[in-house]
Amino acid sequence: MGTLASVFEQSGLATVAISIIREQIEATQPPRALHCEFPLGRPLGKPGDSIFQHQVLDAAFDLLKAESGPVLVDYPEEINDDADAPLSCTIPPADDSDKHPAEAEARGLLPVWRRSYEKYGRTTVGKVVTPEQVPEIITLFARIADGEDWTSVGLPGDPTKLGADIKNFYEEASLSLSDGVPGARQAETWFVTQTKAGDVIQRARIALEKQEAGSYFTTYILPMTQVRDPEGDSND
Amino acid sequence: MSDKVVRKMLSRLEGYSFDEVPWVSPKPLSECRVAVVTTAGLNQEGNADWNPGDQGFTVLSGKKGDFTLGHFSPNFDRTGWVVDSNVVIPLDRLNEMAAEGKIGSVSDTHISFMGAQPDHTLETIRLDTGPAAAKVLLEEEVDVVLLTPV
């Protein structure tokens, strides 16, 4: 972010950067930066809160009054995430077919995901598969988790991108299973700790490690906040 | 593990700084045309993917909207984005500021790169794609760029 700001400034554009990781902005020294102690993914702080967003923007654009730089100012209000408080969601009845329980769970969530999509008009699912394909992909990960060779189960693409499609599908479905706007990472923690699919991906991650699938796959298939061993060992 | 702990861990990553801080003195904000440059990995046309290490950029039409977030990293919250895209690319807020006369106008053209680049020197962005993206905005007569991360 800081380096990019300097590239634009050097090209003749005045820049103001919002920062979320203070040490990175200190290291890269953009001309003007407003550091905000906000959760990653929410640089304007509060989704759905136009007043708060305007306050952040006013503070950012105020930096344009400085006559020399670098300028680094801290926004006075901090926002914490809610990773330790998973969303409270009642998962609808699973598809009653003979599918893997995690696939059946996801099939039961499809109508819920559709409600979220209709409400917000936006999805982050689709790196490799469509929302309708997510349930069947979960079964492929369940086979990996149960010990099958990851290269032979028929994954239609990069496991990390497929893992993202599954996680994002669940997080978006959760928006229709809870009240209001969730805190940052609440849906993520719900997916990983409260759902059958989350358990499958966690166990598949461990299986991928054992199969030496490659650090890229095992590092990015789940957020670093959620890496734990379901058999007992937990993260810190 | 909290988001704050993640940010602390990511703070150890190396960064690239210029020998001298470049500086442009802008016109009064009320006369400036403003564009957003985000590192969220935004696309249009429904593309939800962005490959790790890709230092390219996308040109976004603010009028068209309908952005898709394709960033490769799982290490940030996406629900805020799904509920309200202004939390990443605050075009509604900028349009309101323009209507109030706080800023001159909002560019129809905005830019996205993707952050979390493994090459901390950002050589391609510094020497190639960054200046090319800046040229796009200069041709749109943009004066001020607001940069947002995820």
pLDDT tens-digit map of B90-108: 999 999 999 999 999 999 9
At residue B118, the pLDDT reads: 86
DSSP 8-state symbol, B22? -
Q: Smallest Cβ distance to B79: which of A163, A187, A225?
A: A187
Q: Is the peptide bond before A70 cis (omega within 30 degrees of 0)?
A: yes
Specify whether the CB–CB gap between B150 and B39 falls below 8 A: yes
- The residue whose two tokens read 């006075």 is A76
Q: What is the mean pLDDT of chain B?
A: 95
pLDDT at B14 over 90: no
Selected residue of A18, A19, A40 to mutate for chain B interface (largest B Cβ count, 10 A)? A40
At residue A236, the pLDDT reads: 38
Query: Which helix (H) or strand (E) covers residue B60, if one does?
Result: strand B58-61
Mark yes or no for CB contact B142/A224 under 8 Å.
no
Mark yes or no for CB contact A50/B92 under 8 Å.
yes
Mark yes or no for CB contact A28/B17 under 8 Å.
yes
Indicate if ipTM > 0.85: yes
Buried b (16+ CB within 10 A) or exposed e, B100-111: eebbbbbbebbb
Residue A126 corresponds to which tokens in the numbers above?
Answer: 């689709």
B chain contacts of residue A84, beta-carbon cutoff 8 Å: 2
Distance CA B51, CA A136 (A): 24
pTM above 0.90, yes or no: yes
Domain ranges of chain B: 40-148
Mark yes or no for CB contact A24/B10 under 8 Å.
yes
Q: Smallest Cβ distance to A28: which of B16, B73, B76?
A: B16
Q: Smallest Cβ distance to B79: which of A19, A70, A171?
A: A171
At residue A196, the pLDDT reads: 97
A chain contacts of residue B102, beta-carbon cutoff 8 Å: 58, 61
pLDDT bin (cut points 50, 70, 90) of residue B76 is very high
CA distances from A31 to A6, A15, A67, B20, B77 (A): 7, 7, 11, 10, 27
Closest-CA residue of chain B to A5: B147
Closest-CA residue of chain B to A184: B77
Q: Which residues pair with B146 in a beta bridge?
A: A16, B36
- The phi and psi torsions of A19 (rounded to 5 degrees) equal -115, 145
pLDDT one digit per residue (tens) for chain A, 236 residues: 899 999 999 999 999 999 999 999 999 999 999 999 999 999 999 999 999 999 999 999 999 999 999 999 999 999 998 888 899 998 988 877 799 999 999 999 999 999 999 999 999 999 999 999 999 999 999 999 999 999 999 999 999 999 999 999 999 999 999 988 999 999 999 999 999 999 999 999 999 999 999 998 999 999 998 988 766 544 43
Burial class (CB in 10 A: 0-12, 13-18, 19+), B140: middle
Distance CA A91, CA A72 (A): 45
Q: Smallest Cβ distance to B22: which of A6, A44, A127?
A: A6
Buried b (16+ CB within 10 A) or exposed e, A12-41: ebbbbbbbbbbbbbbbbbbbbbbbbbbbbb
- The residue whose two tokens read 């799982």 is B74
Distance CA A8, CA B39 (A): 13
Mark yes or no for CB contact A168/B52 under 8 Å.
no
Selected residue of A7, A29, A89, A133 to mutate for chain B interface (largest B Cβ count, 10 A)? A7
At residue B10, the pLDDT reads: 87
Closest-CA residue of chain B to A24: B11
Closest-CA residue of chain B to A67: B25
Closest-CA residue of chain A to B103: A61
At residue A232, the pLDDT reads: 58
Residues 76-105 on B with a CB inside 8 Å of A are 76-88, 90, 92-94, 96-97, 102-103
Would an 8 Å CB–CB cutoff place B44 in contact with chain A?
A: no
Alpha helices in chain B (DSSP H): 3-10, 79-83, 91-100, 123-124, 130-139
